[in-house]
Structure 1
Amino acid sequence: MRFTEKYSRFFNYFLPAPFTIAILLFIITYLIAIVFTTPAESSRIEYSLELLKFFESGFWNNGLLVFAIQMMLILVLGHTLALSQPFDQFIHFFVKYCNTTAKAALLVTFFTTLMALFNWGFALIFGAIFARKVGEYATKNNISINYPLIGAAGYVGLMVWHGGFSGSSLTKVAEVGHIQELMKDILSPNQLSTLPDQISFSQTVFSDMNIYASIGVLLLVPIGMYFIGKKSKKNRIPDIAIQKNEEISKEKIEGAARFDESKIFATLIGCIFIFYSIYSAISNFSETSWGFINLNYINFLLFGMCLLFHQGISSFLKAIDEAIGGAAAILIQFPVYFGIMGIMNSSGLIDQFSSFFISISNPTSFPIFTFISAGIVNVFVPSGGGQWAVQGPIIIQAALSLGVDLPKSILALAYGDQITNMLQPFWAIPLLGITGLKAKEILPYTLMMMVLGLIIYISALLIF
C-alpha cells in the first residue's frame, strides 16, 4: 500500500470529526487542570465544579462570540463571492489556457494563492471551481491531464491565507482593545499597560517579513507545481460530467418580488456599501495607516461586493444558502474552544504553558517553536480562529516575558496554522466534493508543497 493511502487511512481511522476533537480537547484540558492546578485549600471535587464554571464563563464570553460570528461571515461571504458570475467568467477565460497539466497547475495554483491572500473562504471555493472547470475542459476536449494534481493546486491557497486580509489572528489583533480584552484575566495591570491597543496590518500583513513570505509562496509554489506537472506521468482524460448552467426562469415577476430580482436595486445597495468602505479607508488612513482594516471592515466590504457581483437579491440569497453550510463547524466548535480558553485562563494553565515555552526558548528560537507548535495544534484544531482563542494568550504572555516582537510571534502562529493545512485534509472537504476527488489523490502533491512552504516560512522567521 502506498504511503499516501496509509496516510489517508490514518487520518480517517484515528481522527474523529472536528467537533468530537473539540470535545476531547475539553476533556483533556479539564483533567490536566484538575491534576496540575487544584489549589491546596480546595478538594478536587469542589475544584472540578469550579472548572466547569470557568468553562461556562468562556463558552458564553460575549467578545469571543462576536468573533465567532465575524469568522462565520468572512467564510460565508467569501464563499458567496466565489459563486458570483464575474468570477465564473474569470475562470472560463483562463480555462482555455489550461491545455496541459503543467500550465493548468501553474495557473490554478497562482490564482488560488493570490485569492487566498484576499479571503480564505473565497479562495477555497474559487480554487475548487477552477480545478473542476479545468477537469471539465479536459474531458470535453479529450485532453490528458493529471486531474488530482490540479485538485491539489486548487487547495494550496490554504497554505498562505492566515498571512492575508482574512487571517483570523491578524484581523482580530487589528481591532482596538482586543489584545487587552483577551489578556485581562491573565496579566497584571502593569503588564496589560505594556500591551498595544492594536496591532495593525502595517505590522503584520504588510510587514517586510510577511511580504517576503507571501511573495515567496505566490511565486515559488506555482513554479513548483508547474515542474511537477511537467514531470507527471499520470496524465489521462478525466471522466467528469459537464455541469450545465441552470436555465433562467421565465416566470413573470410582479409586486415586491421585483426588488428581489432587480439588478439596479442590488447594484445600488452594493455600491453604497463599497463607497462607504472606500470613504472610510481614505478618511482613516492618514490617522491610522492600515489600522482601519479589521474583521468588521472586511465583512462590510465583502457584503457590498457580493450584492454588486450577484446583481440581484435572489441570486445573492441563493448563494448564501449554498455557502452557509460551510460555517456550521465554526458555529458549533468555537464556543467549545472558548470554554477551553476559559479553563486555561482561570485555572492558571496558561501561566504554566507560557513558563514551559519560556524555559525552552530564547528570542531567536521562540518564533520557530511557536511556528512548530501552531502547526501541530492545527492538526487537532483545524480552525485559525479557534486556535487563536486557545493558543494566542500563551504566545502573547511568553513573547512579553522573552521580549520577542509581538507581531512576529503572531505571524509565527499564523504560518504554523496554515502550513499544516497541507497535511490535515479537513478544509479540503468542500474541494473534494466539488471536484469529485479523494483526499489520498491530492495528498502527495499538497505534502510536496508543504515542504516548500516550510522552507519559505522558516527562512522568513530566521531572516527577519
Structure 2
Amino acid sequence: MQPSTAIPTNGQVPPADSGADRTFLQRLVALFVAFFERVMPNPFVLAVLLTFVTAILAAIVAPRNSPATIVTSWYNGIFTILAFAFQMILVLVTGHALASARPVERLLQRLMATVRTPSGAMILTFLIAAAASWLNWGFGLVVGALVAKEAARRVRVDFAWLVAAAYTGFMIWASGPSSSIALAQASHGNSLNVVEKLTG
C-alpha cells in the first residue's frame, strides 16, 4: 500500500493544523508544549539541580553533617547502584540496536501495511508497542516511535494520538523480562533478592 499523499514520506511527521483549524484543546496543548520546550531544562541539567537541592536539604535536616560527609555519601550512593545502572544501560542499548535492525524495520512496515483506519492504526500501534515493551523496555521505546511514524505515513490521523497509543503500550514493560525490579531481585547480594537470602 502506498503512503497517503496527505502525509510526507520523508520521515517528517507534520504537527497538527495551525490557526483557525485548531480546537481550543489543541491550542491549549500547543501553548503548554511551547512553554515547556523553552523553559524545561534537559534531563542532565535536572539531575545536577536535584543533586544540589538534595545536598542543601541534607545540610538543613542534618546540620551536624559536614559538607565532606554529604559529598562522601553522594559519591558512595552512586557506586552502590553501578551494577544496576549498567544493566539498565545494556537493556536500552541492546533494545535500540535490535529495533534499528533492518529486518525489524521491514517487519514493522509489513504489520502496519494492514492499517486502513485511524482507530485501526492506534490499536495496532498500541499492540505492537506493548509486545515490544514487554520483551525489552529499550526495544519498546524505539519500536513505539517507529510504529507511530509508520502509521502516520499510511493513515490520516492526529500524530499525538499515535504517540499516546505507543506509550500506553509501554506501561506493561515492568511485567516483562527486562523489568528493573526483576533484574534487581536477580542480582547477587541485592537486598531484594529474597531467593538468595532463603537458599544461601
TMscore range, shorter length: 0.7 to 0.9
Partner of 1:80: 97
Determine what percentage of the aligned residue pairs are the same residue: 27
User: Aligned-pair RMSD on alpha carbons?
Assistant: 2.5
Q: TM-score, normalised by structure 2?
A: 0.74
CA offset digits 1:323-346 (Å, max 9, x no partner) = xxxxxxxxxxxxxxxxxxxxxxxx
User: How far is the alpha carbon of 1:168 from its aligned partner?
Assistant: 1.7
User: How far is the alpha carbon of 1:163 from its aligned partner?
Assistant: 3.1
Which of 146, 168, 177 is the equivalent residue of 1:129? 146
Kindly indicate whether residue 122 of structure 2 is the aligned counterpart of residue 110 of structure 1: no
Which of 136, 160, 167 is the equivalent residue of 2:172? 160
Equivalent residue runs for 1:382-421 within 5 Å: none
Distance 2:124 2:159 in 1: 14
Which of 112, 115, 122 is the equivalent residue of 1:95? 112
Distance 1:151 1:158 in 2: 11
Higher normalized contact order (CA 8 Å, seq sep 6+, divided by chain length): 1
User: How far is the alpha carbon of 1:197 from its aligned partner?
Assistant: 4.7
Equivalent residue runs for 1:11-410 within 5 Å: 11-39=36-64, 47-59=66-78, 61=79, 63-136=80-153, 138=154, 143-179=155-191, 196-197=194-195
Distance 1:197 1:13 in 2: 48
Secondary structure, aligned partner of 1:165: coil
Distance 1:146 1:12 in 2: 20
Partner of 1:6: 31
CA offset digits 1:150-172 (Å, max 9, x no partner) = 23323323322233221223321
Distance 1:85 1:120 in 2: 19
Q: Which runs of 5+ in 2 are unaligned?
A: 1-23
User: How far is the alpha carbon of 1:33 from its aligned partner?
Assistant: 1.0
Would you say the 8 A contact 1:175–1:198 is kept in 2?
no
CA shift in 2, pair 1:144/1:48, >3 Å: closer
User: How far is the alpha carbon of 1:113 from its aligned partner?
Assistant: 0.9
CA offset digits 1:192-248 (Å, max 9, x no partner) = xxx83559xxxxxxxxxxxxxxxxxxxxxxxxxxxxxxxxxxxxxxxxxxxxxxxxx
Q: Which amino acid aligns with 1:8?
A: V
CA offset digits 1:3-49 (Å, max 9, x no partner) = 3223323433443111111111111111111111133xxxx6xx122
User: How far is the alpha carbon of 1:90 from its aligned partner?
Assistant: 2.0
Distance 1:36 1:94 in 2: 56
Would you say the 8 A contact 1:101–1:150 is kept in 2?
no
User: How far is the alpha carbon of 1:123 from its aligned partner?
Assistant: 0.9
Secondary structure, aligned partner of 1:177: coil
Would you say the 8 A contact 2:130–2:140 is kept in 1?
yes
Q: Which runs of 5+ in 1 are unaligned?
A: 181-194, 200-286, 288-464
CA shift in 2, pair 1:99/1:80, >3 Å: same
CA offset digits 1:283-308 (Å, max 9, x no partner) = xxxx9xxxxxxxxxxxxxxxxxxxxx
Q: Which amino acid aligns with 1:124?
A: L
CA shift in 2, pair 1:198/1:20, >3 Å: farther
Would you say the 8 A contact 1:74–1:119 is kept in 2?
yes
Distance 1:109 1:146 in 2: 15
* Number of residue equivalences: 173
Distance 2:179 2:38 in 1: 30
Distance 2:68 2:159 in 1: 54
Q: Which amino acid aligns with 1:37?
A: A
Secondary structure, aligned partner of 2:170: helix
